[in-house]
Amino acid sequence: MKVIKMQQHSQSKAHKIEVTPLILGSGSFLTESDRERAYRLLDAFVALGGNTIDTARHYGIAEHIIGDWLTLRENRDKIVLLTKGGHPTQENPTHHRLSATAISEDLNTSLSALRTERVEFYALHRDDPAVGVDEIMHQLHQFVQQGKVGAIGASNWKTDRLIAANQYAQENNLTPFTFNSPGFSLATCNRPRWPGCEIANAEMLEWHKDNNIPLVAWSPQGAGFFSGKYSPDNLDNREMVDVYYNDANWKKYDRAATLAPELDVSTSQIALAYVLNQPFSSLAVIGARNEEQLREAFKASQLSLTPEQVLWLNLQQ
């Protein structure tokens, strides 16, 4: 299976680890009732060759479920963990949590829930421009120095803040962001699905290309837009209509539907392959609900699209 080599830091030395381009998302592992399904998905994901799991302090009891699964399967040394912190709480959704104290509290709580002393990747789940990048980058660098985190990144940050953070890190000999996790798919969003989210735009994609920084895409299949369940005259799902219904996306769907039979795959698989065939390292967090969806995603991850096909799907040719 194709792998992507991503940077890690250990005892102040940089090295790379192999990460599968498909990352299993745990955003639906929210409650105890999700545990059995989560175990089945985690087992199936590993059996198919996956090695990386995405989670967050904000995802209910997802970290606890993953930590329990790792303990039961005794496979922590074979799994790459990406978790996130710094998200406002459900009780106080307008209060940002990017102070050094809040970030430390979130990371330590995540490590305890995951039953591990270290995560390979740690990302800030939201941004707060009122907090200077100096405070943030010093605290994240400390996590790396302490051996609690292998690499740091951001999720839902604007490009100018990413640039400012890495410039400050470079000038002050601190650990920089080495990955970024925005929303990214073939479908163009009319607006972000959730408050505080950032969708990769042309500026951000160019930044990834110029700096060879891996992009970890959430909602890589446009929340099912390419599944065939939706059409311009089907307005039943208000969120889908508000976020994804536009003329450009219907044209992209038609092009995906044209290419899919040639490659013997579905339109959803074409959409996922689009994300994974960018001119920079790209990975996709998949929110599979069952084993069949996992198998379809892994097949899509093996597709090689030409640069011309990628541009054509995105209406650039």
Q: Catalytic residue numbers?
A: 59
Q: To 5 degrees, how large is the angle CA 266–CA 217–CA 299?
A: 30
Q: Mention every residue, 6+ apart, whose C-beta is less than 8 A from residue 240.
A: 223, 224, 225, 230
Q: How many CB atoms lie within 10 A of CB 104?
A: 15
Q: Residue type at 86?
A: G
CA distance 94 to 87: 10
Q: Residues in the chain, how many? A: 317
The structure tokens listed for 45 are 């994901």
What angle, rounded to 10 degrees, do the helices at 159-171 and 133-145 form? 60
What angle, rounded to 10 degrees, do the helices at 133-145 and 100-114 form? 30
Q: Mention every residue, 6+ apart, whose C-beta is less than 8 A from residue 67.
A: 113, 114, 115, 116
Q: Residue type at 127?
A: D
Q: CB–CB of 104/140 below 8 Å?
A: no
